[in-house]
Amino acid sequence: MLPLPALLALTTTVFLGCLTEVLPAGLLLGMSEELGVSPSATGQLVTVYAITTALTAVPLTGATLRIPRKRLLLALIAGFLVTNLVIAVSSSYPVILAARVVSGALTGVMWSLVAGYAMRLAPPGLTGRALAVAMSGTPIGFALGVPAGTALGELADWRWAFAAMALITVPLLVWVLAAVPAVPADPAGPTRPLAAARLPGMRPVLATVALFSLGHNVAYTYVGPVLAGLDAESLLGAVLLVFGCAAVGGMAAVGSALDSRPRAVLLSCTAVTAAAVVLLGIGDGVHGLVLVAAGLWGLGFGGAPTAFQAVTALLAGPTADAAQSLTIAAWNGAVAGGALLGGLLLPLGTGLLPWCAALVILSPLLFSRRVVLSAPGDRCRTRR
């Protein structure tokens, strides 16, 4: 039986990390106006965050492997409280940028920690389900958190969205203290995450992670300007809500199929996401097509993060905790690259973004064919 109170506390932590990372995408126009910077500059708040996560995930995960897991988890949550509160009260773009750098470093450790923590709490044979429960905070963040934060920013002010995230951490700290069992620190040395990159099949998976995330974030970071270019700016809240709700459905579908057909899951996530972004580009702002595209996009994207982490765990075996930092680094490096590439393309026209995004999203299909994954509990094997 799964330890649901503990796993749901981890789910909430993932929800908080996801929302902290991507919320500026939903508040981009309001933040740009009040801070006196361009939408591209505001989008770089996502870029800098993701670059920090990518650069620090491996070294900080390695450096913290010997810290008891629960103590580290509490410290990370407290860090989110401080950084989101700083953003909520500051009117200085450089100060907000610095707070995003700190948050990005916290997130890199958090993603690696939570994945390993969830699997260590689960009884034998249920580690995949435990991971799915813990990581469901990501699609829930897209389904509920981002639309709610965007709506709050539109009704009141974008600062209230960050203040709300800071407030979430207070009951979460109490919940973790009460419900999450302590687990011992990993005795591995600080070089262990890098050693995991040499495992058979790991490099194609990391390439798949990076290219999928890059393409997704080219479009998602600037979804507000893309919709404005389609004369569908009024649909921003609805698009984010439909995307998020569909992402929850995608997460559920992955949870039921990942154990038996992990390779098919990765291919499906890639194909559906690319098709959805193309539909957004050719929909010409027709409201029905825009919402259908948002639903397909969420469905394809929803299960991808969990699928990537589960595949990483299968490949890494006993080194799964450390190997997760490589997946996180690849994913968030591509988040930064997507936000940066989208910002460079934005002056050329918002209509260009969906097509570029789809092209990049499809490119992992060239890599994923090299990996043949076995059932849970067995090692993955690479086709020679």
- What would the two tokens of residue 23 be? 């919320």
> With bands split at pLDDT 50, 70 and 90, how would you rate the model's confidence at 233?
confident
- Please give the Cα distance from 337 to 11 (Å, whole number): 27
Domain ranges, ordered by start, for the chain: 1-190, 193-383
Please check the confidence at residue 190 and state whether its pLDDT lies above 50.
no
| For range 241-261, the mean pLDDT | 76
- pLDDT category, 97, cuts 50, 70, 90? very high
Residues 253-280: pLDDT tens digits?
776 676 667 777 778 888 899 999 999 8
Q: Are 141 and 168 in contact (CB under 8 A)?
A: no
pLDDT score of 181: 93
222 pLDDT higher than 90: no
Percent of the chain with pLDDT over 70: 87
As given in the structure block, the two tokens for residue 168 are: 């979430």
Answer CATH for 193-383 from 1.20.1250.20, 3.40.50.970, 3.40.50.410, 3.20.20.70: 1.20.1250.20
For 13, the 3-state DSSP assignment is helix
pLDDT of residue 372: 44
Q: For the ranges 44-53, 240-249, 309-318, which has the lowest average pLDDT?
A: 309-318
Per-residue model confidence as pLDDT tens digits over 50-76: 788 888 888 888 788 788 889 999 999
pLDDT at 150: 76
Mean pLDDT of 327-339: 80
Taking the C-alpha atoms of residue 382 and residue 13, their distance in angstroms, rounded to an integer, is 34
Task: Summarize the confidence of residues 67-88 as an average pLDDT.
Answer: 93
Ranges 23-27, 167-171, 286-290: which has the least confidence: 23-27
What is the pLDDT at residue 166?
Answer: 92
Higher pLDDT: 376 or 52? It is 52
Query: Phi then psi for 383, rounded to 5 degrees?
Result: -75, 125
| Range scoring the smallest mean pLDDT among 104-113, 210-219, 224-233 | 224-233
Band (224; pLDDT cuts 50, 70, 90): confident
Let me know the angle formed at the C-alpha of 210 by 135 and 362, rounded to the nearest 5 degrees.
105
d(CA 204, CA 343): 27
Neighbours of 197 (CB within 10 A): 13
Question: Looking at the predicted structure, is the pLDDT value of residue 339 above 90?
Answer: no
If one compares 179 and 370, the residue with the highest pLDDT of the two is: 179
Q: How confident is the model at residue 116 (pLDDT cuts 50, 70, 90)?
A: confident
Query: How far lies 62's CA from each of 56, 187, 192, 253, 325, in Å?
Result: 10, 10, 7, 33, 9
d(CA 57, CA 42) in angstroms, rounded, equals 23
CA–CA dist 322, 112 (Å, integer): 7
Cα 185 to Cα 79: distance, rounded to the nearest angstrom: 20
DSSP 49-87: HHHHHHHHHHHHHHHTTTS-HHHHHHHHHHHHHHHHHHH
State which H helix or E strand residue 320 sits in.
helix 320-345
Cβ neighbours for 319, distance < 8 A, ≥ 6 positions apart? 188, 192, 195, 196, 199
pLDDT given at position 367: 54
pTM for the model = 0.74
Cα 238 off chain centre by: 20
Q: Which pLDDT value is given to residue 12?
A: 93
CATH superfamily name and code, 1-190: MFS general substrate transporter like domains (1.20.1250.20)
pLDDT tens per residue across span 121-130? 888 767 767 8
Of 37-51, 92-106, 166-180, the least confident: 37-51
Q: Is the pLDDT of residue 377 over 50?
A: no
Token pair, residue 143, equals 């389904």
**pLDDT value of position 223:** 84
Q: How confident is the model at residue 186 (pLDDT cuts 50, 70, 90)?
A: low
Quickly state the pLDDT bin for 175 (edges 50, 70, 90): very high
The average pLDDT across 140-154 equals 75
Least confident of 39-48, 103-112, 242-251: 39-48
Residue 382 in this model has a pLDDT that exceeds 50:
no
Over the chain, what is the mean pLDDT?
A: 81
What's the rounded Cα separation, in Å, for the pair 144 and 95? 28
Specify which of 71-80, 150-159, 244-253 reaches the highest per-range mean pLDDT. Answer: 71-80
The whole-angstrom distance between residue 302's C-alpha and the CA centroid of its chain comes to 10
Contact between 325 and 193 (Cβ < 8 Å)? yes
